[in-house]
Structure 1
Amino acid sequence: MKRSVAQMVILCLIVSCTIGEIKAVRSNSDGSEAWGYVEVRPKAHMFWWHYKSPYRVEDPSKPWPIILWLQGGPGASGVGIGNFQEVGPLDTFLKPRNSTWLKKADLLFVDSPVGAGYSFVEEKELYVKSDEEAAKDLTTLLQQLFNKNQILNHSPLYIVAESYGGKIAVKLGLSVINAVQSGKLKLHLGGVVLGDSWISPEDFVFSWGPLLNYVSRLDYNGMDLSNSLAEKIRKQLKNGEYVEATETWMELESIISLHSNSVDFYNFMLDSGMDPLSLTTSEETKKENRILKKYSRYLNDLRSANNVDEGDLDTLMNGVIKKKLKIIPKDLVWGNNSGNVFSAMQADFMRPTIEGVDELLAKGIDVTIYNGQLDVICSTSGTEAWVRKLKWEGLQEFKKIEREPLYCENDRTRTRGFTKSFKNLHFYWILGAGHFIPAFHGQAARPKEGRGW
């Protein structure tokens, strides 16, 4: 089966605005990486970090994709988590990551919404309150980065999101389309990729009780309590009580934790606190000597920074990385998730975005969905439920298609996932993975052409 560029990119998972200006940009002499701030609104500063892949193909007949990575939360740091713990060139020990997605694409990490990670606002009233506002800020950033850079605006951009980032990705995709059509943005949108994404909170909370009961993490009493609170959330959403629904969601998570002996919401095979982002990448670093030359350009002055505390991300981001970047405000303390951002968006947190996915599909945009088998918070069954609510004209045919098995490299002794596609909708079931699929699958989790991963 011939695969589109979008599908080849996602196989890594087994896959004129005048507001503000780019300032304080720093790049290597060979152009391999650059970073900076964009003032997306007065006194609202968004941080970005672009890695140009050493594998980049400059042949215009072979378009080289750019992945814009959107972290979840809302308020989690893509520059920190997505970069150093999932798909970037270096891990939290500053060792080369053999499974980096740079082998198939350039990477653009952002700390979005403003207030996450290294991004900041000068006044608390400037935090965004909705996914639409977050998407508008990101569109402003893309205008500043892409409009005057022919290498960027001639390359297909894939918006790849994880968790809550998926809600923002849908809104951003629609915002990008409008900006391109109006002539305000020079960019080719290759597709939107939704990884374990919080698209329909109602469908997810209703999936939790039955899923955890089926895998023996909840008994029937616990499942009944879970279902009861999920029903309360459904009524609140129907009445437009979104803040109240968020509060009930918090209560529901607490009830499930109590009755499951603290199941990890990112992987039902684990207890809370055992998620993969706390694990090392020792297996990957065994091959580091072979790839060090290709990634040595990203090491810069970090090469000798061996004083990182056991790969601790907070120590890394507030220490040697902050020192390397040079432009981060001295009084800014990096955090992996901003409570201020989450609080500001509390009224939008439980609002569904299924209609936005429908709109992207209707406009012909490639939409790729992938889900980890072991995820709870954005469970596969919850994702399948909201997909079945799409009004997209191709849905019935999509549902009829049989899935194809996926294998890792040339090893066909173990099924690693399943996939099926119809027109511009693609779905990947990733076996053995939880919420943070790249952190689980390592070598398997990067772009690869052909049938397998």
Structure 2
Amino acid sequence: MEKLSFCLLTVILCFPLFHGRVLRSSEGFGTADGSEEWGYTTVRPKAHLFWWLYRSTNRVENTSSPWPTVLWLQGGPGASGVGIGNFEEIGPLHTNLKPRNSTWLQIADLLFVDNPVGTGYSYVEDEDSLVKTDEESATDLTTLLKKLYNGNGRLQKSPLFVVAESYGGKFAVTLGLSVIKAIKAGELNLTLGGIALGDSWISPEDFVVSSLLLVNFCKLSWGRLLKDVSRLDINGEEKSNSLAQVIQKQITEGKFEDATDSWGELETAIIKNSNGVDFYNFLLDEAMDPLAVTSTESGAAVAGVATQSMEKMAMPGYSRYLSSRADSSNGDIGDLLNGAIKKKLGIIPKNVSWGGQSGLVFKALKSDFMKPRINEVDELLSLGVTVTIYNGQVDLICATKGTEAWVQKLKWKELGEFNKIERQPIYCGRDEITRGFVKSYKNLHFYWILNAGHFVPVDQPCVALKMLSEITRSPAKAPPAAV
């Protein structure tokens, strides 16, 4: 990893050396040594997706277990995989441009896409070109994959594993079905290795109000969970549950835009009554989480919604840190992506700023935001696709109880047998400390990650690497015993 990290640092910090960067395709550029490629793909008229592919120096060829490629999909909607997933979670460098010891590049090639169009460096030339549904996003991503994979023998040898976080899970399952359809039609030359859903917003209703019955036959909601951990009292719980019931009714009646508005009200009520609990780790205050810290002094967007809409919808959701400041040692990710990284890439249009259209992305998907995608998970399982679900123990916005609840709604014929399987403990490092649990049956796997919030690769990097190695069956040497 030292060799790889030095190479990447040289590329970023000594950019003038690479002014002669290699043109890889009509829309892509890369480093002279071929370790990276990036570019734009026009997926529709006036709609441009930005992608960035890293190749691992650990790659092993000619083995019974082919070298994997991981496509990372961020959530939001409107959060940047190229920025956040790459520099704050699993990429080769931190936001301070120092090497990340726990990068997933150790065991797989990494493909980051700013999805949907309008996210990160991706952009549209007019608002009508923004996607309105998860399926439209999947169609755009499939178009991108066709242009990257068809005719590229190296990529075709590497099975693709789609790993998603938060709202990215909804993009992942719709993409999975779109990819399978394209493969069967002979339009896409790609091997789909599997889908992994990390703390994913698959069924909003089951996070806001879970129908999973407890021993006292009460429904679990954000309010109940927060009261149990002393962040809400009985008054706060009642206010939360009242709004949650409104949301549940709106979802049942198909009033999804209204449900999105009510969801914003519910988050605001919880933050007010809990004195600022962190939605990505309910053991923390917002100000204690470097990935979910307060928005910038300029009053920039919250959950991708412009400032005027923010006052009405009050959403401190997943995309909050699009314009937030990381801790002072890492610097501001917006400054990095609009400064040194934009200069390095060299192909970002002058009038495009990283994250500049992200608020429009969330707004365009408002009617899809609260729709469930359980049926898509069911269909993937029935088609034999390997589906991995993992959840951080102390996540609130996509709490483990909610994930467990929607899993029990699956119509997958093997669910009963899956439920009977005993969980196995997960260890990482040289000690015997329990880091999590895993349960697997046929093509469904569930990981419970202890002492982790919404951002599992950040909170438990060793466990995340171990899990990824198991999911992808990477032929790379085992990752470090402890990270």
Coarse TM-score class (shorter-chain normalised): 0.7 to 0.9
2 CA distance for matches of 1:201 and 1:229?
14
Name the counterpart of 2:247: 233
1:128 equivalent to 2:148? Answer no
Quote the Cα distance in structure 1 between the aligned partners of 2:421 and 2:338: 49
Aligned match of 1:149 in 126, 130, 152? 152
Corresponding residue of 2:404: 384
CA distance in 2, matches of 1:128, 1:225: 34
Whole-Å Cα distance in 1 between the matches of residues 288 and 120 of structure 2? 23
The alpha carbon displacement at 1:441 in A equals 1.8
Partner of 1:57: 60
Alpha-carbon separation, structure 1, partners of 2:184 and 2:26: 27
Distance 2:26 2:256 in 1: 37
1:164 to 146, 163, 167: 167
For the residue of structure 2 that corresponds to 1:86, the secondary structure is helix
SS of residue matched to 2:89: helix
Shift of 1:273: 3.3
Letter of the 2:380 partner, please give it.
L
CA distance in 1 between partners of 2:160 and 2:136 (Å): 21
1:368 maps onto 2:382 in alignment: no
Aligned to 2:239, what secondary structure does the other structure show?
A: helix
Distance 1:242 1:420 in 2: 33
Shift in Å, 1:433: 0.4
Cα distance in 1 for partners of 2:418, 2:61 equals 35
Give yes or no for the alignment of 1:417 onto 2:431. Answer: no
* Superposed displacement of residue 310, structure 1: 4.3
Tell me what 1:298 maps to: none
Range 434-443 or range 358-367, more displaced:
434-443
Q: Which residue of 1 aligns with 2:270?
A: 256
Give the residue type in structure 2 aligned to 1:70: L
**Partners of 1:23 and 1:49 in 2: how far apart?**
15
Q: Tell me, in whole angstroms, the C-alpha distance in 1 between the residues paired with 2:365 and 2:55.
A: 32
How far apart, in 2, do the equivalents of 1:444 and 1:361 lie?
A: 25
Residue among 82, 93, 110 paired with 1:79:
82
- 1:69 has 2:72 as partner: yes
What is aligned with 1:179? 182
* Aligned mates of 1:417, 1:215 — CA distance in 2: 20
Distance 1:59 1:377 in 2: 42
Deviation at 1:30, TM superposition (A): 2.2
Contact 1:371 1:435 in 2 (8 A): yes
Equivalence for 1:315: 335
Taking the aligned partners of 1:107 and 1:311, their CA distance within structure 2 comes to 24
> Which one is further off, 57-66 or 112-121?
57-66
Between Structure 1 and Structure 2, how many residues are aligned?
A: 404
What is the aligned partner in structure 2 of residue 292 from structure 1? none
Any stretches of 5+ residues in structure 1 without a counterpart?
1-20, 280-307
In structure 2, relative to structure 1, the CA distance for the partners of 1:22 and 1:254 (3 Å cut) is farther
Q: Which of 272, 283, 304 is 1:269 aligned to?
A: 283
| 1:205 correspondence with 2:208 | yes
Q: What is the aligned counterpart of 1:440 among 459, 474, 479?
A: 459
Distance 1:22 1:54 in 2: 22
Question: How has the CA–CA distance of structure 1 residues 336 and 197 changed in structure 2, closer, same or farther, with 3 Å as cutoff?
Answer: farther
Structure ranking higher on relative contact order (CA contacts 8 Å, 6+ apart): 1
Distance in 1 (alpha carbons) for counterparts of 2:469 and 2:377: 25
Tell whether the 8 Å contact from 2:77 to 2:167 is kept in structure 1 after alignment: yes
Is residue 22–residue 37 contact of structure 1 (8 Å, CA) maintained in 2? Answer: no
CA distance in 2, matches of 1:193, 1:26: 29
Task: Tell me the distance in 1 between the aligned counterparts of 2:119 and 2:113.
Answer: 9
Determine if contact 2:435/2:463 at 8 Å carries over to the other structure: no
Q: Verify the 8 A CA contact 1:309 1:315 in the aligned structure 2.
A: no
TM-score, length-scaled by structure 2 = 0.81
Tell me if the contact between 2:118 and 2:357 (Cα under 8 Å) persists in the aligned partners.
no
1:350 to 358, 370, 379: 370
Q: Which runs of 5+ in 2 are unaligned?
A: 1-23, 210-220, 294-327, 471-477
Provide the rounded CA distance (Å) in 2 between the counterparts of 1:74 and 1:200.
15
Work out the CA distance in 1 between the residues paired with 2:241 and 2:25: 49
